[in-house]
Structure 1
Amino acid sequence: KKGKYVRTYLKTTYKFDERFQTIFPRMWSPGEGHEEEYKKWANITGSPERVTNQNGEQEIRNVPTFTENLRFFVSYQLGFMYWRYFMWNFVGRQDDVQSSGGLTNGNWISGIKPIDAMFLGNQDHLTPEQLNRIGRNRYFFLPLILGLLGLGYQYIRDKRNLIVVSLLFVLTGIAIVVYLNQYPLQPRERDYAFAGSFYAFAI
């Protein structure tokens, strides 16, 4: 009515305590169940810090260290949320059931019994339902071996294009892992996010 804009919303920003900050932070989500998952994947013991809680009382909290953040990055964000998907495509896939880190669903599998037993336990007593799932694929490492042979061949014949393809592989794979900084208990499998990286390896 008065011809003026009225601010109806104030954008809030977080101000973090410097004691809780670290280089390359990987654990950040306060979502339900996430704290326990962080502890599981990073084996957190933390560094004790005295803080004042919401009730004004003093208490000790264990703050994840840089090493523990890095451990979560390697074990969950890289290992579970990237390399597992990579292995699905070039080694084999256990099934098409979403996994949260257990041995029975969503892992990579090669079809070579001694190797699979090392990572997933004895595979001789699976039920017919588990063995006949449509998403169960075993490639016996053959696509991975062919890709590595191609990598060696390109290194010998065309180093310049090898650098280009390698950059494509990293920037559409590991770099995305770093950028997304994924929290645990994702609502679905995220292999589609790294399709470009898998295409690059296939080249």
Structure 2
Amino acid sequence: MIRILVVDDHAIVRSGLITLLNDHKTREVIGEAAEGNEAIAKALELKPDVVLMDLSMPHGKDGMTATTELKKLIPDIAILVLTMHDDDEYLFRAIHAGASGYILKNAPHEELLTAIHSIAQGDAYLYPTATKRLMSEYLEKLKNGENKDIYDTLSDREKEILGWIAKGYANREIAEHLIISVKTVETHKSNLMEKLGLKTRPELVKFAMKKGLLNFE
């Protein structure tokens, strides 16, 4: 029996998910929550095997923050992000936060159930198009003979800012952490992207992952 906690700020969505998930003897929804703080409290109280976590919850703590905190409090808990955000940046941030899986809200019911059973068994799950896209881009870079030493061309400050960007921090947040201006952060970001031959933030995240700059533990 997989014990599940459903977290979403829309009551109708929670109701639909609970009906779907309870329709089998191998699954049981043991609780629900409307925002991150409630989700953490319920998880600590009920000890679910899987938390089905929405990301965008405007009233209270968001799903990304709740995921990070839950993994610190209950390291073995499996968290499946269920979101409308089909975006590489959200995907990498969720993985970094500790999510075991990432699936879109428009996915077929069968895919959602497969994802839940997969992460409950200790596996990871990404929706198919995300996996295909990431693998395709990774293989293309290998094919083009990307220079693995290009990272060494960055200055120490550029490497530092690359790490912050890869972990999902906005320019203003980085500036506050490093006690520099937002303009300086933007300049360093522009310079390092030019040196690395990258054009988008998700590309920076993927580059940082390959260089081992992100600790997912």
TM-score over 0.5 for the pair:
no
Larger radius of gyration: 1
TM-score by length of 2: 0.26
Instruction: Using CA pairs under 8 Å that are at least 6 residues apart, name the structure with larger relative contact order, 1 or 2.
Output: 1
| Greater strand content | 2
| Greater helix content | 2
TM-score by length of 1: 0.28
